[in-house]
A = this chain, B = another copy of it.
Amino acid sequence: MCQLLGMNCATPTDVTFSFTGFAARGGLTDHHADGFGVAFFEDKACRLFIDNQSAGTSPVADLIKRYPIKSKNVISHIRKATQGTVLLENCHPFMRELWGRHWIFAHNGDLKSFLPFLSGVYQPVGDTDSELAFCTLMQGLRKRFPGSQPPLNELCHALADITREITLHGVFNYLLCNGQALFAHCSTHLYYLVRQWPFSTAHLIDADLSIDFAQVTTPDDRVAVIATQPLTDNETWTRFAPGELIMFEDGRPTMTLTVPIPPEVQAKNAANTACT
C-alpha cells in the first residue's frame, strides 16, 4: 500500500519534521520504494518535486529534508507500485490547472474496472488509475462550475458527489488541494491531528527524532497533519471513518461530509491492501 501525507496550516509552516518520518517509509522503515513526490503550495502556485527513486535515498527527498520550504498546504506520496510501471509519469502527486489555480492530487488505493468517459480537457499522461481518477474529478468540477470556482462549501459538496461514483470501483483514499483548502477522502485508512497552542513535543515513529513545537511556534500557528498511518507515537490521531470527506482550512477541519460506500464495496476494500 502507498502512503499519503498532507499538511494544511493557518500560517506558512515547514514540513521537514513530518516529511523526515514519512520519507523513511520509502524503503528504510517500510517498503514504499517505487518513487515519491511532494507539492508545496505558495498561494495559487506550487512547487512539485517528484522522483522515481525511493524517498529514503533520493537526492530530491534529501533536499526537502534539509531545505525548509514554508507552505500552508503540502501533499506528499510514497509509492509501492501495483498498477502502472515505475515511471516518472506515474509518480504522485499529479498537477492540473482549473479556474486559474493549480490543483494537486495524490491517491492511495486501487480502482478496478474504472473506465470513465473523459471529454479530453483533462487526459492522463501516465497509466495509473489514480491519474485517471484525478482527471475525472477535475472534469466533474469543471462541468458543474464551468465559469469560475464556487464557494468552498459548494465545491466540497460537488466533490463528494463525484467521489461517490469513483468509490464504487474500489479503495479511494485521496488528498486534493487547490492552495486554499485541502480535501481528504477516506475509503479505508486515513488519520489526522491538529497541532495548536499550547504546543508540545512530538516524537516520530519512523526515526528517533523529537521536536518541541512550543519552541518554534506562535499562538497564531495551527497545523492539521493528515496521514495514511500516524507519524508520531505520543500524540492522539483521529481516524477517519470510511466514506468521510473532510475539508481542511487554516489548519483545522471546517466541513465533514460522508460519501456512502455500499457494504459489498466496503467488504472488498477491507481485504485490499494494494496501491497504484
Q: Which residues of A approach B to under 8 Å, CB–CB? A: 42-52, 59-60, 63, 66-67, 87-89, 91, 95-97, 99-102, 120-126, 146-147
Contacts and interface: CB of A to CB of B under 8 A. Distances in A.
A89 B179 CA distance: 12
A44 B123 contact: no
Residue of A48, A51, A122, A125 with most partner-chain B CB within 10 A: A125
**Nearest 10 pairs of A and B residues by beta carbon:** A45-B89, A100-B123, A42-B88, A45-B88, A59-B67, A63-B63, A44-B125, A44-B89, A45-B125, A100-B125
Nearest to A100: B123
A45 B126 contact: yes
Q: How many copies of this chain sit in the oligomeric assembly?
A: 2
A100 B94 CA distance: 13
Contact of A95 (B59, B63, B91, B95): B95
A45 B101 CA distance: 20
A52 to B, nearest CB: 8
A122 B66 CA distance: 35
A65 to B, nearest CB: 12
